[in-house]
Amino acid sequence: MPASKGTDVFEAAARMFDPAALALVGGGSFLLAAFRSTGGDIARAIRALRPLFLASPSRDEINALRAVRRIERVASVKGIACADRAESESAFVRRAALKICDAPSAGAFAAWAEDELEGRRTRHAAAAAFWRSAADSAPSMGMIGTVIGLVAMFAAMDDPARMGPAMALAMLTTLYGLLFGTLVFGAVAARLERLSEAELRWQRAALARIEALARSEAGGAELWLKHSARTSG
């Protein structure tokens, strides 16, 4: 690419950047979402940015299934009460293993599992809702910037040198509103929602298999007690 063309591209890109318009649309959308949320929701939304880029539901699912299979092997030999002795690369499955060891019954574990999944779903939804709120606010903030720019432009009709920057502000805030709403905040919310669905799916499957182990062992123990009672009688 000739140097002149490269310079023209950079100059065109530089003209598309306006810190004031960026702060108005991006910062304003974020603040509006913050006003609509609780402090906990804001903290969860910010913390969710890390797994947004690093999370891998397929990898987590594989690790969880491996951990559950280890628990099944341990339970088949030593009983479900020793589930916590199984090695696990999944922090979620490790927590479930500790819980099943302490649970008084399979029903109690099932109740805990349902509460755990519902709590996770609620937290995930709150984080995604924050970014969804920011995405919904971005076009409106862009329109506010457009109106401000148009007012400034009409106020400077007698000074062409001032009309250009005002018109640029009006157009750029509209552009930023669309970009933030769709490509930034909207994309973040959509990915968090997708990650939540994938995570909850494998977590529910893992908990169901652990619960099935507990119910199977409890059913076997009940049959053994009934058999002992009949034979002794």
Q: pLDDT tens, 73-119?
A: 988 888 888 888 888 889 999 999 999 988 888 889 999 999 999 99
Instruction: Tell me if 101 is assigned to some domain.
Output: yes
Instruction: Tell me if 12 is assigned to some domain.
Output: no
Dist. CA 100–CA 79, nearest whole Å:
11
Percentage of the residues of the chain whose pLDDT score is greater than 90: 57
Dist. CA 233–CA 229, nearest whole Å:
6
Dist. CA 138–CA 150, nearest whole Å:
18
Let me know how many helices (H) and strands (E) the chain has, helices first: 10, 0
pLDDT in the model for residue 160: 77
Instruction: Tell me if 25 is assigned to some domain.
Output: yes
Instruction: Tell me if 122 is assigned to some domain.
Output: yes
Tallying the residues shown for the chain, one arrives at 233
Helix (H, G, I), strand (E, B) or coil at 17: coil
Dist. CA 186–CA 135, nearest whole Å:
5
pLDDT in the model for residue 162: 80
| Other beta carbons within 10 Å of 105 | 11
pLDDT in the model for residue 104: 87
Please count the structural domains in the chain.
Answer: 1
CA angle 179, 25, 34 (to 5 degrees): 110
**Residue 148: domain span:** 20-47+57-228
Residues 198-223: tens digit of each pLDDT? 999 999 999 999 999 888 876 544 43
Percentage of the residues of the chain whose pLDDT score is greater than 70: 87
Instruction: Tell me if 9 is assigned to some domain.
Output: no
Instruction: Tell me if 66 is assigned to some domain.
Output: yes
Average pLDDT, the chain: 85
- pTM equals 0.82
Instruction: Give yes or no for residue 9 having a pLDDT over 60.
Output: no
Q: What is the DSSP letter of 86?
A: S
DSSP alpha helix (H) spans, 103-184: 106-155, 160-179
